[in-house]
Amino acid sequence: MTSVDDVSRPSRVAGPDEAISAEELQLAARNHGIPLEALRYDVTPAGLHYLLIHYDIPDVDPAGHALTVDGAVRLPLILGLDELRSRPRVTRQVTLECAGNGRALLHPRPVSQPWLVEAVGNAEWTGTPLAPLLREAGIAPEAVDVVFTGADHGVERGVEQDYQRALPVADALREEVLLAYEMNGAPLLPQHGAPLRLIVPGWYGMAHVKWLRGITVLTEAFDGYQNAVAYRLRRDADDPGEPVTRIEPRALVRPPGFPDFMTRTRVLRPGPCTVDGRAWSGHAPITSVEVTTDGGATWAPATVDPPRGGDWSWRRWRYEWSPQPGRYVLGARATDASGRTQPVEQPWNRGGFANNLVQRVEVAVLAD
């Protein structure tokens, strides 16, 4: 007889000279990052926002969709979309980044969705705050975790499951957490979680459960796959690891000039050039951005624009550069108010998570 173990294999790390596999390319075709030139937009258009879908996009009928709130609560609730829309309405700009962003640049490479640096986007999410709903349901004093269940179903590393993630009660009760039904002023698109999703500002994307259908309050720590197994910072397979939670600081360069089709090496003419990009962190506000044009040998301060989209939105930075003909490697590193800054050497872990290594953008400045 066939079992899920026959179709779902354990996680692994690629061999020293192992190329990207057909399976990884298949994932890369389903899931896409933001084109880096789209960093010019304060708010990322929905079709350019990064996308990661663990299983299939479920077929959810908005007219019949209901959200259940149950578990360790005084008053279980079942709410349709119209009821949720009738509750207080809030719009927040929130930068989302996949926890695996940068994975394909690690050595050795964890075998999974092969992200480079583009798994990010900044959108306006509209919905109703989660905290009042939980207070209305009446969370038990002994509650520990709040579990969020999506309508997407699949098998991962031998475990058949609905996609589920949990937040500690204190994080679930943050006033900025949203039950979102709109993105950039329009109803959610199917691939972005229609008709309802969770938005957890400051946390990596795995916490923002899409196609949300259930909220369950537990009096013990949630031991589901996505919390206890998948999203952990571990050195080896036997390491229990630490949970992946908030977004580490990162700055990205919007590549200047124009690209070579295959290599994406940038081409510029000599003369004045404004190098810019975006910076963000889930721990604390960005305080500074530094720029290198020589692959990290030297650094210079950039100008960071005032925040435009609120506490959870990325910020634009700018650096004036006047290169002479030659070859350059650009990069930027962000520092936040908690003192965290981007590393110039890779922070390796077995899952390839929270890798905020400084980006490298190769530039060729042509002679006149």
Task: Summarize pLDDT for 203-214 with one digit per residue, the tens.
Answer: 999 999 999 999
State the pLDDT at residue 17: 86
Q: What is the spatial distance between Cα 213 and Cα 150, in angstroms, rounded to a whole number?
A: 6
- Residue 130 DSSP one-character state: H
State the pLDDT at residue 1: 65
Q: Give percent of the chain with pLDDT exceeding 70.
A: 99
| Strand-pair partners of 161 | 154
Q: Is the peptide bond before 195 cis (omega within 30 degrees of 0)?
A: yes
Q: What is the spatial distance between Cα 368 and Cα 352, in angstroms, rounded to a whole number?
A: 42
Tokens 């530039």 -> residue: 363
Q: What is the spatial distance between Cα 294 and Cα 202, in angstroms, rounded to a whole number?
A: 31
3-state secondary structure of 343: coil
Residue 212 is inside which H or E element, if any?
strand 212-218
**Residue 234 contacts residue 268 (beta carbons within 8 Å):** no
- Does pLDDT of 10 surpass 90? no
- Does pLDDT of 132 surpass 70? yes
Q: What are 305-318's pLDDT values in tens digits?
A: 999 999 999 999 99
- Does pLDDT of 301 surpass 80? yes
- Does pLDDT of 92 surpass 90? yes
Residue 182 structure tokens: 């709109």
- Does pLDDT of 273 surpass 70? yes
- Does pLDDT of 180 surpass 90? yes
Residue 6 structure tokens: 């026959």
**104 closest CA partner among 118, 123, 124:** 118
Kindly indicate the confidence band of residue 237, based on its pLDDT and cuts at 50, 70 and 90. Answer: confident
Average pLDDT, the chain: 96
Which domains are seen in the chain, by residue range? 4-243 (3.90.420.10), 250-365 (2.60.40.650)
State the pLDDT at residue 78: 98
- Does pLDDT of 368 surpass 80? no
**Amino acid letter for position 267:** V
Question: What is the average per-residue pLDDT within 237-257?
Answer: 95
- Does pLDDT of 3 surpass 80? no
**356 closest CA partner among 367, 347, 366:** 347
Q: Helix H segments across 107-231?
A: 130-137, 169-172, 225
Residue 67 is inside which H or E element, if any?
strand 66-71
- Does pLDDT of 88 surpass 90? yes
